[in-house]
Amino acid sequence: MKESTINKASNKPLASVGSLLKEAREKRKLSLEDAAAKLFSDPDILEDLENNIFEKLGGNVFIKGYIRNYSKLLDLDSTELIDLLANQLELEEEKIVLPKITEHLVALRIIAVVSLILLLVTILGMYVSHN
């Protein structure tokens, strides 16, 4: 059964994400190296997670993935840990900004029209020169 990481009565975090992960790992008598080997990961990544050093780990998606995998190994509730992380860091979902396609389409349309006109002028010039 998954261990709860949040005090349900007060709905407040008991500790940081990193300290909960470290405590669970030590409770299972796993070294960082053993845990990393089981996750096919680098021990430095797990150490950064346990020390709440998230800046080195990449974007929010990577951090959440590391926490999800590590929490499964330690039989912790990954959803609660990720929610706790969001509260801890006040993370906002990363927004993907798509480039404006219309600007590119307008430029391509102009290039296509100019190319077509040049092609027609070339064909017309060749036709006139042969006759």
CA separation for the pair 6, 84 (Å, rounded): 8
pLDDT at site 34: 94
Whether residues 10 and 35 fall in one domain: yes
- Domains contained in the chain, number: 2
Residue 17 resides in a domain: yes
**Residue 7 φ then ψ, to 5°:** -70, 110
pLDDT at site 89: 74
Residue 1 resides in a domain: no
pTM of the predicted protein model: 0.59
pLDDT at 72 over 60: yes
32, 43 contact by CB (below 8 A)? yes
Q: Kindly state the average pLDDT of the residues 11-15.
A: 55
Tens-place pLDDT, residues 16-57: 899 999 999 999 999 999 999 999 999 999 999 999 988 888
Q: Kindly state the average pLDDT of the residues 4-8.
A: 48
Whether residues 21 and 84 fall in one domain: yes
Show the domain range for 31: 6-89
